[in-house]
Structure 1
């Protein structure tokens, strides 16, 4: 479990405050410091003629003062509720998604709310999609209020990114003292739609290997004949955290998560962690 800095993308929304609470609880378990990061994304005028310079609508002094006061109040409340957690506030002018991706290179974890003030794509903001796709560390999108004893679930497909996700999930489940559920979805074989024996055997071997690494962990592996998006959405309905892997290639140019990860980010009932294969 990393003790590197946990960065919370904070925009003063209720969802962002939920993300901060999740990060603070995580920091209490691990001893990691927490940073609240707020980006001033000031809108600009768009002139009709391309040769006319665009002037900023903001920042005006009063607006910035109100925002800064709100951030300081949030920081004071955090220090009251989690006095043992080192917590700082960082603000910057610029694109929130791009700056969070850049700052993630020096972080152990980035934590985001499920919606925030820039709600698009159903239940996930555009900042969340971009950061989960391109961050240099795991990203957790916080959603729901599951029971404290609910399991951690992880999707596995045999890829290096899935191995990284499984390691992250095992650490999370161990730290929380809950069960770990490993779900691998296969294309149905034959007329019966059953999972092939060889696929089940390989998953059992995987479970045995990870059980040896975490002997105190209650680990259950399931091979299911179902589309991965459907199988993992079901797993998330009873979990407190759903973990998936993603490679997230290239600079910040688009949404490169893949269909399964994007589906889960939009539809999962619980918090979801996206873990990258950093070795790749």
Structure 2
């Protein structure tokens, strides 16, 4: 597998179709190939073997052939609809979350729908999307049906952590590819209700935060001078501020864990809440 490749979790569901469309648009901008990955997991329930597959009796070799035909047809149809983009289809065996996590080590980007055929009505994001975003080895983008937008800024949450720095670089590059503005958002919870931005201590805190952001941005501004950048420091809960910012964004980017993360916690609470509630696709970025 090509480490520049965009890997897409595909199961024939509507959410997977939206994820494929997002990945193809990304591939067209970046020149990367796309691989549709259907993870085939046998279930010990007679009459159900997988989405898009006629019922059979477990184990049923015919069912796997149907899956392979489904994936290869999807890849062929996609290639015809997106000339210039290289698309492959492949079937893997095993638990979907585990297989996608393992395969992400050999991909440049992993794209998932928020829920597949196994999702429950009312569940905003499926367990596979949350697990892979937590454990994937490459950046993971989660796309919910009807979320994707072609306009608006790329928003990145920045808290000064090493993971946030990695997310910032990813966000700047995506903004440049999309000819989109970049919005850098740093949110923090005020220490108490008496906090006012005009207070001397608050002014010093805001100035220090802005200086830290500008220092992190300096090299990226030189590399991508054409990207308009705005910096916003907001006295608010980080997750809530980013969810609100996602309403007008085409992509929101966060590190897998920020300064508030607990050691051993692979996906922070901000990332988890964004996957569940954001109004645009969410990219969770970590260093390999």
TM bin, normalised by shorter chain, reads 0.7 to 0.9
**Structure-1-length-normalised TM-score:** 0.86
Q: 2:50 maps to which residue?
A: none
Q: Does structure 1 retain, via aligned residues, the 8 Å contact 2:9–2:111?
A: yes
CA deviations over 1:246-275 (Å, ceiling 9, x no partner)? 159xxxxx9731211111110001000000
Stretches of structure 2 that go unaligned for 5 or more consecutive residues are 46-55, 259-263
Residue 186 of structure 2 corresponds to residue 184 of structure 1:
yes
Q: 2:68 maps to which residue?
A: 68
Deviation, structure 1 residue 61: 3.8
Residue 237 of structure 2 corresponds to residue 234 of structure 1:
no
Q: 1:152 maps to which residue?
A: 154
CA deviations over 1:40-64 (Å, ceiling 9, x no partner)? 111126xxxxxxxxxx952324433
SS of 1:7 mapped into structure 2: strand
Greater mean alpha carbon deviation, residues 134-143 or residues 120-129: 120-129
SS of 2:250 mapped into structure 1: strand
SS of 2:64 mapped into structure 1: helix
Q: 2:142 maps to which residue?
A: 141
Q: What value does the CA root-mean-square deviation take over the aligned residues?
A: 2.5
Q: Does structure 2 retain, via aligned residues, the 8 Å contact 1:193–1:225?
A: no
Q: 2:53 maps to which residue?
A: none
Residue 133 of structure 2 corresponds to residue 132 of structure 1:
yes
Higher strand share: 1
Q: Does structure 2 retain, via aligned residues, the 8 Å contact 1:40–1:92?
A: yes
Instruction: Map residues 56-205 of structure 1 onto 2, 5 A cutoff.
Output: 58-119=58-119, 122-143=123-144, 144-189=146-191, 191-194=194-197, 196-197=205-206, 198-205=208-215
Query: Partners in 2 of 1:64 and 1:206 — Cα distance?
Result: 49
Query: Partners in 2 of 1:89 and 1:70 — Cα distance?
Result: 9
SS of 1:201 mapped into structure 2: helix
**Alignment coverage as a number of residue pairs:** 263
CA deviations over 1:124-177 (Å, ceiling 9, x no partner)? 111111111111110111133454221100001111111110000000000000
Query: Partners in 2 of 1:101 and 1:224 — Cα distance?
Result: 34
Q: Does structure 2 retain, via aligned residues, the 8 Å contact 1:207–1:220?
A: no
Stretches of structure 1 that go unaligned for 5 or more consecutive residues are 46-55, 249-253
**Structure-2-length-normalised TM-score:** 0.84
Deviation, structure 1 residue 277: 2.4
